[in-house]
Structure 1
Amino acid sequence: MSEQVHIQILDAAAAQANVAALAEVLTDCVAGGASVSFMWPLPRERALQFWQGVAEGVARKERVLLVARDDSGDILGTVQLITAMPDNQPHRADVAKMLVHRKARRKGIAQALMAAVEQAAKTAGKSVLVLDTVTGGDAERLYERAGWQKVGVVPNYALMPDGEFCGTTFFHKQIQ
């Protein structure tokens, strides 16, 4: 990669300040066909609303928000660590919304974000991580290469942004 990628954990104020940039990454990913809980077309207001909720979750210490920035400070990708778990799962966290803007893909950004979110989980005292992704997609291969263990596949679990059904593969990783 010609440019450096800088991974950063956003505090509540920074999360709030970057809602618009994060909404742009989300909108680009959904426009590109990513099944990440949203349908296409994704209204800008809906994307902004989602990230506003994430920023509020950061403020409540329910999640950790990581971003990947280029040298100019533009957000190229993001991932979240959801730490708010039931009382009997204080050791667990969910990894969610791994998103990389289409213009920045195949440059190691997702891999860097995953390494950083695992480190954030360790720092938060979490030892079991769980995530899900579209079956057969690029992310599934990324997680397998990163040492995540496949739990199983649920057919027709979600919809792609165009309305077609897709399977979802669930993964876990034990970290020390």
Structure 2
Amino acid sequence: MRRLDASGLREYAGPLADLLADTVADGASVGFLAPLDRVAALAWWQERADAVAAGRLAVWAAGDGGAVAGTVGLAFADKPNSRHRAELVKLMVRPQARGRGLGRTLLATAEEAAAVAGVSLLHLDTETGSPAERLYAAAGWTRAGVIPDYAADPGGVLKPTTLYYKAIGPVRRRQPEADGTGSRQS
């Protein structure tokens, strides 16, 4: 398991592109339509390097040698009122590597890194009824609801999406001080 900096992301863009294309070809709804060619998948990963360099995105890759068996990302919020939360994005495991605990390991890695970064709330969306739902439920994520016809699956068919969240650390709330009028004091 390796957290990729911007140069590492560029270095692993090819194997990550292969993983993305294989995952989409296998039917995973991760934002792309099938068939996803390697050139488009490679360009998508290369475009993420600036976000990694800026600290808006963290990406991990798991594998051995030059092959990538799985990946996960955290997209950090950029607004002052939402810096306590992050979105779990692009959790993918190569079809041949599934069923061996890699998805759980990737998920746990992202959760731990988020907590270390001061994030106390994670959220994600996944296709309703997908195998990923079992993973999130088993890992203690809470189902928040379903949005019908949210995204097209790789075949182009609109499918519902389930939203999940997980509190991963202490929630730090600042209580406004009232001045008797209900407004906050500076």
**Partner of 1:121 in structure 2?**
114
Select 2:134's aligned residue among 123, 127, 141.
141
CA deviation vs aligned residue, 1:24-70 (integer Å, no higher than 9, x gap): 00000000011111001112221111101122211111111011113
2:76 is aligned to 83
Q: In the alignment, what sits opposite 2:56?
A: 62
- Distance of 2:156 and 2:72 partners within structure 1: 24
Runs of 4+ in 1 over 4 A off after TM superposition: none
Q: Indicate the SS of the match to 1:75.
A: coil
Contact 1:85 1:92 in 2 (8 A): no
Q: Give per-residue Cα distances to partners, 1:133-152, cap 9 Å, x unaligned.
A: 01011101100000000000
Q: Is the 8 A contact 1:63 1:84 kept in 2?
A: no
Aligned counterpart, 1:156: 149
Residue 10, structure 1, aligned to residue 4, structure 2: yes
Output the CA distance in 2 between the equivalents of 1:96 and 1:146.
16
Number of aligned residues: 169
1:109 has 2:102 as partner = yes
Aligned to 1:37: 31
Where relative contact order (Cα < 8 A, 6+ residues apart) is larger, the structure is 1
Q: 2:125 aligns with which of 129, 132, 153?
A: 132
RMSD: 1.0
Unaligned runs of 5+ in 1: 1-6
Contact 2:76 2:85 survives alignment (8 Å) = yes
- Secondary structure of 1:57's partner? helix
Scaled by the length of structure 1, the TM-score of the pair is 0.93
AA of the residue aligned to 2:104? Q
Structure 1 residue 73 displacement after superposition: 4.9
Instruction: Give SS of 2:115's match.
Output: helix
Structure of greater Rg: 2
Q: Could you tell me whether the CA contact under 8 Å between 2:69 and 2:94 is conserved in 1?
A: yes
Q: Percent identity?
A: 44
Q: Is there any run of 5+ residues in structure 2 with no aligned partner, and where? A: 170-186
What CA distance in whole angstroms lies between the structure 2 residues aligned with 1:163 and 1:11?
33
Output the amino acid matched with 1:14: G
